[in-house]
Structure 1
Amino acid sequence: MEEIGWDTEDARWLNPPPAAVREGGGPGSGPLVVTAAAGSDFWRRTGYGWVRDTGHALLTAFPADSAVEVSFVAAFGELYDQAGAMVRVDERTWVKAGVEMSDGVPQLGAVVTREWSDWSLAPVPTWAGREVTVRVSRSGDALTVRARREQEPWRMVRLAPLDPDATALAGPFCCSPRRAGLRVRFTRFATGPADTSLH
């Protein structure tokens, strides 16, 4: 995997956050600390009825047969605090996957949106405050989402459809629908070849 620099033309913000500060302040691709805006979110219609397209995502080209990896550490404290990796075609077609605070514990999950959003979760209480990596691979008509805590084995999160001809972007994202002040420390953003295995 090849790391993407935070300050290059290779990646651009969708909805720039209130603050995005690289640790150390020097050149390179060291950790980036992102502060999410209050009320930021990505969601379309299902269950809640609203459309939100205000979350923060740093996106780069995501062609066929490639993968993106995003690593981060965050102290999630409020309902719906979230961070991870996003794949985006447009405002009606996207996937976000990572860790989200729900039912009082961190949850590993994904939202797949094709005009309407769906949402799947699994509790990961031991992942609280630890580095998490999300990998999304694009191969054929599918996105394969995996995640892990630190250097533990990868866990399968989701297999989702994506038009093989779609022009897509991908990269780290974070949202804080219920509060101001969520800070996410993104430690790595990299791209490389797709992992084509399903398990």
Structure 2
Amino acid sequence: MQWLNEPAHWSSSSNRIIVNTSPKTDFWRITHYGFIRDSGHFYFERVDTDFVVEVEITGSYKDLYDQAGIMIRFDENHWIKTGIEYVDGVQHLSAVVTHDYSDWSVTPLLKPLVSLRLRVERRKEAIHISYLDASSKYALLRLAYFPIVPEVQVGIVCASPEGNGYEVVFDNYRLIKQSAA
């Protein structure tokens, strides 16, 4: 795996990656805010097949838009990030799908989660984003389009757009490549 925008402070051991996000980091393109940000932390591997990727995320979210999750990326104009995003003091399940312009969907969590188990699956042009719900079943958060390209980058993502950084722990990251049907 390799970093896009490696954080100053991070470590990994066995099945755990700990990141202290750098201040004023984010991924976003144009919509509503009028700016482009490509400075978030993304630790990825390259994949040329369909896949399923999973990770458990535990964050010390404290500032507006602190975020952590999974990212799929072709280039700076085409990517998806999904996971937890901290908005107005509340954890939200979040997904941003970007095809030149970013969109954003959020669902507030009525009870803050200690950790979130997230799963993203690619089947050709379809991206299935799911999370482990209170009954320990994967619930669909979003189904999104992503172009079929020869290779994508897949991995963990985190950022602190407004704050001074926070600590996030990624446990049991797993990527399963699937042969084309």
Tell me what 1:3 maps to: none
Tell me what 1:19 maps to: 9
Distance 1:47 1:74, change over 3 A: same
Give the drift of 1:78.
Answer: 1.1
Give the drift of 1:67.
Answer: 1.2
Residues 55-70 of structure 1 mapped to structure 2, 5 A cutoff: 55-70=40-55
Tell me what 2:165 maps to: 181
After superposition, give the CA deviation of every residue in 1:20-67 in whole Å (9 maximum; x if it has no partner). 123xxxxx5232210101000000000000000000010012333211
Taking the aligned partners of 2:150 and 2:105, their CA distance within structure 1 comes to: 24
SS at match of 1:190: strand
Residues 132-147 of structure 1 mapped to structure 2, 5 A cutoff: 132-147=116-131
Taking the aligned partners of 2:53 and 2:21, their CA distance within structure 1 comes to: 21
Task: Return the match for 1:39 from 24, 41, 45.
Answer: 24
The count of corresponding residues between Structure 1 and Structure 2 is: 178
Distance 1:114 1:166, change over 3 A: farther
* Structure 1 stretch displaced more, 92-101 or 165-174: 165-174
Q: Aligned residues: percent identity? A: 35
Task: Return the match for 2:87 from 99, 102, 109.
Answer: 102
Query: Which structure 1 segments of 5+ residues have no match?
Result: 1-10, 23-27, 195-199
Give the drift of 1:150.
Answer: 7.8
Taking the aligned partners of 2:97 and 2:150, their CA distance within structure 1 comes to: 15
For the 8 Å contact 1:133–1:150, the answer to whether it is kept is: no
After superposition, give the CA deviation of every residue in 1:174-197 in whole Å (9 maximum; x if it has no partner). 000112231101112111156xxx
More strand by share: 2
Give the drift of 1:151.
Answer: 7.3
Taking the aligned partners of 2:148 and 2:134, their CA distance within structure 1 comes to: 31
Query: Which structure 2 segments of 5+ residues have no match?
Result: none
Taking the aligned partners of 1:125 and 1:79, their CA distance within structure 2 comes to: 17
Q: Which has the higher contact order (CA 8 A, sep 6+)?
A: 2
After superposition, give the CA deviation of every residue in 1:131-171 in whole Å (9 maximum; x if it has no partner). 21211111121111111258722121111111223420111
SS at match of 1:126: coil
For the 8 Å contact 1:131–1:149, the answer to whether it is kept is: no
* Structure 1 stretch displaced more, 145-154 or 174-183: 145-154
* TM-score (norm. length: structure 1): 0.84
